[in-house]
Amino acid sequence: MTLESISVTEAGSALDCRRYWYWSNYLRNTGLESNAPAIPLWLGRGIHKGLEGYFRGNRDLLEGINSYVTWYNNFCTKIQRDFAYIWVDLQKELKASYSLGWDMIENFSDFERTGNSKLVGKILEVEKRYKHPILDTNRSPTNVILSGKVDLILEHEGAIYLVDHKSHTSAKKPDFSALSIDDQVTGYAYLYWRETGIIPTGIIYNVLMKATPRPPEVLQSGKLSKSKSQFTTWYLYKDAIKTLGLKESDYLEILNYYALSGYDDYFVQEETFRNEEELLAYENRTYWRMKEMREILEDPTRRTYSTPSTRGCSWCSFKEACKSQDDGGDPESLFDTLFSPRIYEE
Ligand code: SF4
């Protein structure tokens, strides 16, 4: 196997566990993926599709919903075809996720109309893929391509912003403490710079929480809960007071809280920056990483050593194969039972 191209995501994570990357690469080349369709993963991709339609339609909600629904229908058709044996069990979970995704896109459109969104300006590109040869230490092109898809590119008052959409579990707000060094973000800024000659003014993490506003909780006393951890909004709270015939004056503080927080619990937009030195440092480490990845493919027997840890491996779909490799088994013979033909669209 030769290395022809790597993605920005791979460049950042391949060497965390060489064995994981080697097997992932093998699966990709053979068109296989995990047997159990992951609903959260699916929802994240569906949200991306919805946002893609929304921005392609110049911030048109209907286009966003259409794009999302088309994605959902295609996905269901593929699951029914390839995973008939689990279709009945999956249907309920899929329907709940489907409604959540629809609400998230609709609420995002509302949030944009409040004027508090940072995604302002002219839409230059949507889902734009950039490819550039990895440069060696003399800045000469190698024969390996670095590629990455930028979700959205905006121009506002002469400044260029790259946008990366993320969906996030609603349990807690995302931790942005390492965003200033996030490798994926740096990779997108780097590719944009090398392809256009322009260093983007900023990169915005556009995070949609996997939550939709609900009416406030009604307590046994018939009054409304004043907990500020509820996923509700000023409008829903006001509406509940009116419906239950309660006195608004008893809820002024909580109403004020939700009026001020607006959509803070649902949409978080964090901006970060990269200068030329940081992009050159990325260029340098990407070259050395690529060399190591190439060596792994050339000599997998010696170089695909694992990096096992209880915490680091809990999510890994290769756990059984990994154990088999180390206890003298034949890990790749397990792949046919552990994995199935890929159903997700790229
Ligand atoms: S189980 Fe852990 S060590 Fe093994 S391939 Fe997966 S991530 Fe790597």
Domain boundaries, the chain: 213-263
CB of residue 174 inside a 6 A radius of ligand 1:
no
* Distant-in-sequence contacts of 247-252, Cβ < 8 A, 24+ apart: 250/223, 251/224, 251/226
Contact of 287 with 137, CB cutoff 8 Å: yes
Mutate to test the pocket of ligand 1, among 13, 20, 311 (most ligand atoms within 8 A of CB): 20
Q: CB of 308 closer than 6 A to ligand 1?
A: yes
Atom of ligand 1 nearest to the CA of 17: 8
| CA 178 vs CA 133, 152, 154, 191, 272: distances in Å | 27, 22, 24, 20, 10
User: Nearest residue CA, atom 5 of ligand 1?
Assistant: 20
For a ligand 1 pocket test, name from 13, 17, 310 the mutation site with the most ligand atoms within 8 angstroms of its C-beta: 17
46-64: burial string, b at 16+ Cβ within 10 Å, e else: bbbbbbbbbbbbeeebebb
> Which residues have CB under 8 Å from 50's CB, separation 6+?
64, 65, 67, 68, 71, 101, 104, 105
Per-residue pLDDT of the chain (346 residues; tens, 9 = 90+): 789 999 999 999 999 999 999 998 888 888 777 666 667 778 889 999 999 999 999 999 999 999 999 999 988 888 788 777 778 888 888 888 899 999 999 999 988 998 889 999 999 999 999 999 999 999 999 999 999 999 999 999 999 999 999 988 876 678 899 999 999 999 999 999 999 999 999 999 999 988 888 889 999 999 999 999 888 888 889 999 999 999 999 999 999 998 888 777 788 999 999 999 999 999 999 999 999 999 999 999 899 999 999 988 988 888 999 999 999 888 888 887 777 777 655 4
CA atoms within 13 A of residue 256's CA, in its CB half-sphere: 5
* Placement of tokens 């509940």 in the chain: 240
Shortest CA distance to 152 belongs to which of 144, 143, 161? 161
Task: For ligand 1, say whether the CB of 18 is within 6 Å of any of its atoms.
Answer: no
Which residue's CA lies nearest to atom 3 of ligand 1?
308
Question: Ligand 1, closest atom to CA 307?
Answer: 3
**pTM, full prediction:** 0.87
* 19 pocket-lining for ligand 1 (C-beta < 6 Å): yes
